[in-house]
Structure 1
Amino acid sequence: MNSVPSTDPLTQASPPRLSVDHPGINELFAVLAYGEVAAFYRLTDEARMAPDLRGRISMAAMAAAEMGHFELLRQALDSRGVDVVAAMSKYATALDNYHRLTMPSTWLEALVKTYVGDAMAADFYLAIADGLPDEAADVVRAVLAETKHSQFVVDEVRSAVTSSAKQRSRLALWSRRLLGEAITQAQYVLADRDELVDLVISGAAGLGHLAGFFERAQHTHDERMRELGLA
Structure 2
Amino acid sequence: MPLSLPTETPPPPSAFWDSPWRARVALPLVAVLLMLLLLWLWRPWLLLPGTQPLVMGGGDPYLRALMRTISASESNVLRPYHVVYGGEYVGTLERHPNRCEAIGQGPNRGNCSTAAGRYQLLYSTWLELAARYHPQRTGDALDATGLSFAPVYQDAVVHAWLQEGRWGNVSAQLRQGRVQPVLRRLSGTWTSLGYGIENNSMSRELPKVYQRLLQEELQAAGEPADDTKTKGRAAGAARP
TM-score by length of 1: 0.30
Query: Quick check: which one's helix share is greater?
Result: 1
Q: Which has the larger radius of gyration?
A: 2
TM-score by length of 2: 0.29
